[in-house]
Amino acid sequence: MPYLNKIVSTPEPVDCRILTAALDLFVERGFHNVSVHDVQKEANVSIGSIYNHFGGKEGIAKALYYHLLNEFEEMINGVIEEDLSNRERCNKIILQLFEYTESRRNIISYMLHAKHREFLPNEPPICSSTPFTSMRKIVQQGIDAGEIRPGNPWVVAASVFGGAIRMIHLRLDGVIKEPLTQYYDEVIDCIWRGMNPGEVTKSRQPRPVEMAN
By CB under 7 A, the residues from 8 to 67 that bind DNA are 14, 34-37, 45-49, 51-53, 56-58
> Near a copy of itself by CB under 8 A, which window of 14-22, 39-47, 49-57, 113-121?
113-121
Determine, following the binding rule CB under 7 A, whether residue 114 of this chain makes contact with DNA. Answer: no
53, 64 contact by CB (below 8 A):
no
By CB under 8 A, the residues from 194 to 213 that bind a copy of itself are 194-196, 199, 201-205, 207-208, 211, 213
- What's the half-sphere exposure (Cβ side, CA atoms, 13 Å) at 210? 1
Determine, following the binding rule CB under 8 A, whether residue 81 of this chain makes contact with a copy of itself. Answer: no
By CB under 7 A, the residues from 148 to 207 that bind DNA are none
Q: How far is CA 150 from CA 96, 116, 128, in A?
A: 26, 33, 22
Query: Quick one: what does residue 118 bind among DNA, a copy of itself, none, with the CB cut-off 5 to 8 Å set by partner type?
Result: a copy of itself
Residues at the site binding a copy of itself, with contacts judged by CB under 8 A: 29-33, 84-85, 87-88, 91-92, 95-96, 99, 113, 115, 117-118, 125-128, 147, 149, 151-152, 154-156, 158-159, 161-167, 169-170, 173-176, 183, 185-196, 199, 201-205, 207-208, 211, 213
